[in-house]
């Protein structure tokens, strides 16, 4: 990977949970699979696994993730929450990661991606990035409800692809195709991990009921620092978009905001208010 210089990345991340914990592979089956296995053998919070190529990249809904050598960013971060995150709040990690990825892409390329709930990065109607969070839970105890033991945050971004296989071409694009310029993955990785550290910090505070006040770019946006408010501003999909949802037998309707847990609501053509649980939201 010619544009991967670990000492530079480590210096940039010195003040984050990822400092000194970056692992790089030329080829791997799946960085998510590797991170889940590493979690099982005691890898610490903040361990990051990056590959130039994945031979069995995993996508949401049991799909594979197109992971050709060199052109994409394939990264997984292992998170072991310092204070327990209840299972009911696990979706917030996905939403936070979408915001971090959106911010990193904009800082690196100037391109403003849309976020299709829960966390697809979209440019000009095509997917440029996807996020797969895989987690295991710890059972409820006398002191805590069932909570996350760890979460693996997997992020794939199409960076310098100049073409896609015919079956993906109508659906997928890359940062290079949209901007007309080559982008160093190293810079995107730095910006992504800085933004992710920032978002996870904001999330930890918010889940403890301490709305933040200072310092982080996450907190300087107008209209409040709360995750749901920020996600609603960042995504045109949350409100007023006509969609088809491939869930519960499939239905169509208009998106109607997020509920208090971060799930997307859709006012269905059948007159019912639906809660989208797992994604599969497409333009109708
Ligand atoms: C999606 O289907 O939208 C999610 C795609 C997630 C792909 C990334 S690439 C790095 C990490 N390792 C994997 O096997 N998958 C995720």
Query: In a mutational test of the pocket of ligand 1, which residue from 47, 49, 55, 59 has the highest number of ligand atoms less than 8 Å from its CB?
Result: 59
pLDDT tens by residue, 77-98: 999 987 778 887 889 999 999 9
Residue 28 has pLDDT above 50, yes or no: yes
Please name which of 66, 96, 69 lies closest in space to residue 192, comparing C-alpha atoms: 96
- Closest ligand 1 atom number to CA of residue 129: 3
- CB of 74 shorter than 6 A to ligand 1: yes
pTM for the whole structure: 0.93
User: 119: CA distance to ligand 1 center in Å?
Assistant: 11
Question: How far, in Å, is the centroid of ligand 1 from the Cα of 142?
Answer: 35
What percent of the chain is predicted at pLDDT more than 90?
73
- Look at residue 202 in the predicted model and tell me its pLDDT: 87
Cα separation, 241 vs 263, in Å, equals: 15
What does the pLDDT look like over 46-56, one tens digit per residue? 999 999 999 99
For 152-209, what is each residue's pLDDT tens digit?
999 999 999 999 999 999 999 999 999 999 999 999 999 999 999 999 988 888 887 7
Ligand 1 mean position, distance from CA 57 (Å): 6
Q: Is the CB of 76 under 6 A from ligand 1?
A: yes
pLDDT band at 272 (very low <50, low <70, confident <90, very high): very high
């Amino acid at each position: 990977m010619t544009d991967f210089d670990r000492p530079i990345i480590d210096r940039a991340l010195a003040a984050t949970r990822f400092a000194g914990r970056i692992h790089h592979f030329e080829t791997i089956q799946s960085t998510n699979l590797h991170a889940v296995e590493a979690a099982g053998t005691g890898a610490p919070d903040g361990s990051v696994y990056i590959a130039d190529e994945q031979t069995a990249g995993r996508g949401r809904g049991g799909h594979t993730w197109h992971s050709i050598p060199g052109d994409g960013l394939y990264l997984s971060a292992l998170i072991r929450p310092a204070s327990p995150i209840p299972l009911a709040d696990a979706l917030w990690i996905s939403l936070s990661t979408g915001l971090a990825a959106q911010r990193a892409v904009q800082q690196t390329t100037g391109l403003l991606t849309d976020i299709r709930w829960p966390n697809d990065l979209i440019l000009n109607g095509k997917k440029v990035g996807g996020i797969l969070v895989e987690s295991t839970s710890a059972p409820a105890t006398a002191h805590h409800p069932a909570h996350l033991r760890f979460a693996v945050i997997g992020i794939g971004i199409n960076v310098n692809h100049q073409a896609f296989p015919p079956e993906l071409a109508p659906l997928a694009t890359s940062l290079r195709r949209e901007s007309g310029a080559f982008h160093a993955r190293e810079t995107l990785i730095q910006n992504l991990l800085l933004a992710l550290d920032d978002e996870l910090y904001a999330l930890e505070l918010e889940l403890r009921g301490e709305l933040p006040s200072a310092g982080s770019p996450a907190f300087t946006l107008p209209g409040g620092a709360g995750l749901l408010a920020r996600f609603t501003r960042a995504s045109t999909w949350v409100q007023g978009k006509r969609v088809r949802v491939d869930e519960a037998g499939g239905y169509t309707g208009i998106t109607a905001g997020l509920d208090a847990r971060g799930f997307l609501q859709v006012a269905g053509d059948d007159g019912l208010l639906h809660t989208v649980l797992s994604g599969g939201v497409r333009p109708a």
